[in-house]
């Protein structure tokens, strides 16, 4: 491993080596400290001193001796790393990593977490666009039991300073795109683009992360073991000095990242959903025989089919609610909430049915495709539709709490 030579006079302990290998955070070292805050930097030499002054002012009174700040710099041409090393002499909580082997915001954050000693891992931008005081409220939320506490521009008290309509639209568009591709992940927080949050180490320890570009929070939401989330509103300020590193390429990275995560999270549910769908076909067939076959009850075909299809939908709902989406269903609760899920599931599946009739007609009558091949295509597309829409609407995970969450004390069993 490369040895980074600190400038003369720097305490060696303040300079940390760059971990190699997979981007995986370990379960923690002994003895742990309470909080590790990562500050990713690229050409931020002019902001660093003021940032560290404000960060320590917030953290010292709360966590003196129990926190660290790790500046992870990608060998900035403006020498941010050297400035950081000099400042580490003044503030003992500060450690510095100078990366030359890799680049990029998301990996910088994870490399920082890998050398971190904290039970809680955090990240904040270096340009003071995230007001350091927000850390105090994030810390309160984590102490109260949240696995993840996110500084949000969309939560109460949040916002942006004077952004142009175009910039707002781009930001909103990126979020909507995320909701479309990955509803069950992106929909869990109101500001999935946030670059300032705290997460319990235990929620990501041992998980191999594979982010692309800027949106580390989405990666953590998609792969971590996160039960309780709390959001804290803040106003995204203008940069103190220097300039943003966002380029058009990062938008492409974002889309690729979303797709990668989508594919990675499919195996967890889709096979179950498909298996349940198959069981529904069995129910439908059997009941169609029972209701409509002249050898059985012999009712009308249409009437029999409607009843059989509805029974299949009920069958599928029960299995999906108690198996495929069991974890989400538990969080959403039973009773009226379950009825609401059922109503949505029913509606989406009915629309799926109409869609399949349409798709079949389109292929056979307009395109002249073989009807059995066309039916297979229709079934595949409608299964995808059903899965996607139900994941997004019927079993959408509850949005994060805006206030501090209730502590994770052993819960009393729900009153029946």
Site residues for ligand GDD per CB under 6 A: 40-42, 44, 72-74, 103-105, 108, 125-127, 129, 193-196, 214, 236, 244-246
Please report whether residue 127 would count as binding Mn ion according to CB under 5 A: yes
**Residue 193 CB, nearest distance to ligand GDD (Å)?**
4
Handedness of CA 199, 143, 412, 156 (dihedral sign): negative
Nearer to Mn ion, 47 or 394 (CB): 47
Nearer to ligand GDD, 127 or 321 (CB): 127
**Residue 85 CB, nearest distance to ligand GDD (Å)?**
15
Contact 6, 91 (CB under 8 A): no
**Residue 245 CB, nearest distance to Mn ion (Å)?**
8
Instruction: Count each helix (H run) and each strand (E run) in the chain, helices first.
Output: 13, 10
User: What does 41 interact with, of ligand GDD, Mn ion, none (CB < 5 to 8 A by kind)?
Assistant: ligand GDD
Q: Which residue has the tokens 């998609």?
A: 222
User: What does 262 interact with, of ligand GDD, Mn ion, none (CB < 5 to 8 A by kind)?
Assistant: none
Q: Can you tell me whether residue 1 is helix, strand or coil?
A: coil
**Residue 45 CB, nearest distance to Mn ion (Å)?**
15
CA atoms of 203 and 353, how far apart (whole Å): 40
CA atoms of 258 and 178, how far apart (whole Å): 7
Nearer to ligand GDD, 38 or 288 (CB): 38
The residue number whose beta carbon is nearest to ligand GDD equals 195
Beta strands in 115-184 (DSSP E): 118-123, 148-152, 159-160
Nearer to Mn ion, 129 or 363 (CB): 129
User: What does 228 interact with, of Mn ion, ligand GDD, none (CB < 5 to 8 A by kind)?
Assistant: none
Among the listed ranges 75-83, 102-110, 122-130, 302-310, the one in contact with Mn ion (CB under 5 A) is: 122-130
- The torsion defined by the Cα of 29, 197, 124 and 5, in degrees rounded to 10, comes to 20
Nearer to ligand GDD, 244 or 302 (CB): 244
How far from chain centre, in Å, is Cα 416?
Answer: 33
Binding-site size, Mn ion (CB under 5 A): 2
84: its two tokens: 């950081």
**Residue 123 CB, nearest distance to Mn ion (Å)?**
13
Nearer to Mn ion, 118 or 195 (CB): 195
**Residue 369 CB, nearest distance to ligand GDD (Å)?**
45
264: its two tokens: 């990675």
Nearer to Mn ion, 73 or 127 (CB): 127
Nearer to Mn ion, 13 or 246 (CB): 246
User: What does 311 interact with, of Mn ion, ligand GDD, none (CB < 5 to 8 A by kind)?
Assistant: none
CA atoms of 291 and 268, how far apart (whole Å): 36
CA atoms of 100 and 97, how far apart (whole Å): 10
- Beta bridge partner(s), residue 38: 70, 123
**Residue 392 CB, nearest distance to ligand GDD (Å)?**
23
User: What does 126 interact with, of Mn ion, ligand GDD, none (CB < 5 to 8 A by kind)?
Assistant: ligand GDD
Q: Around Cβ 105, how many Cβ atoms within 10 Å?
A: 22
- C-alpha angle 135-141-156 in degrees, rounded to nearest 5: 80
Please report whether residue 129 would count as binding Mn ion according to CB under 5 A: yes
Instruction: Name, in order, each residue with C-beta under 8 angstroms of 266's C-beta and a sequence gap of 6 or more.
Output: none
User: What does 105 interact with, of ligand GDD, Mn ion, none (CB < 5 to 8 A by kind)?
Assistant: ligand GDD
CA atoms of 71 and 102, how far apart (whole Å): 15
**Which chain residues interact with Mn ion by CB under 5 A?**
127, 129
């Amino acid at each position: 491993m490369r040895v980074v030579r600190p400038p003369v006079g720097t305490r060696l302990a303040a300079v940390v080596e760059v971990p190699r290998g997979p981007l995986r955070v370990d379960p923690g070292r002994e003895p742990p400290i309470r909080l590790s805050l990562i500050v990713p930097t690229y050409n931020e030499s002019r902001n660093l001193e003021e940032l560290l002054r404000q960060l320590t002012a917030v953290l010292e009174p709360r966590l003196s001796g129990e926190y660290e700040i790790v500046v992870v710099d990608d060998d900035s041409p403006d020498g941010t790393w050297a400035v950081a090393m000099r400042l580490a002499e003044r503030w003992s909580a500060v450690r510095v990593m100078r990366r030359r082997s890799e680049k990029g915001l998301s990996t910088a954050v994870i490399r920082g977490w890998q050398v971190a000693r904290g039970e809680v891992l955090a990240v904040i931008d270096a340009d003071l666009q995230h007001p350091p005081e927000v850390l105090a409220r994030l810390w309160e939320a984590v102490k109260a039991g949240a696995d993840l506490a996110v500084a949000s521009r969309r939560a109460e008290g949040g916002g942006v300073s004077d952004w142009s309509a175009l910039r707002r639209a781009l930001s909103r568009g990126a979020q909507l795109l995320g909701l479309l591709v990955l509803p069950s992940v992106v929909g869990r927080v109101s500001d999935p683009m946030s670059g300032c949050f705290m997460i319990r180490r235990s929620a990501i320890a041992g998980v191999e992360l594979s982010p692309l570009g800027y949106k580390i929070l989405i990666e953590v939401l998609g792969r971590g073991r996160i039960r309780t989330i709390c959001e804290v509103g803040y106003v995204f300020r203008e940069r103190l000095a220097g300039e943003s590193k966002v380029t058009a390429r990062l938008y492409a990275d974002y889309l690729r990242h979303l797709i990668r995560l989508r594919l990675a999270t499919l195996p967890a549910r889709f096979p179950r959903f498909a298996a349940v769908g198959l069981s529904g076909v069995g129910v439908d067939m059997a009941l169609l025989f029972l209701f409509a076959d002249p050898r059985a009850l012999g009712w009308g075909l249409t009437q029999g089919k409607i009843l059989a299809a509805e029974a299949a939908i009920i069958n599928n709902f029960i299995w999906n609610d108690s198996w495929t989406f069991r974890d989400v269903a538990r969080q959403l609760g039973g009773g009226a909430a379950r009825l609401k899920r059922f109503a949505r599931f029913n509606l989406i599946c009915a629309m799926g049915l109409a869609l399949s009739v349409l798709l079949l007609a389109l292929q056979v009558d307009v395109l002249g495709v073989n009807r059995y091949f066309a039916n297979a295509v229709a079934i595949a597309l409608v299964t995808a539709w059903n899965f996607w829409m139900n994941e997004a609407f019927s079993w959408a995970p509850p949005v994060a709490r805006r206030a501090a969450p209730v502590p994770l004390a052993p819960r009393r069993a729900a009153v029946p």
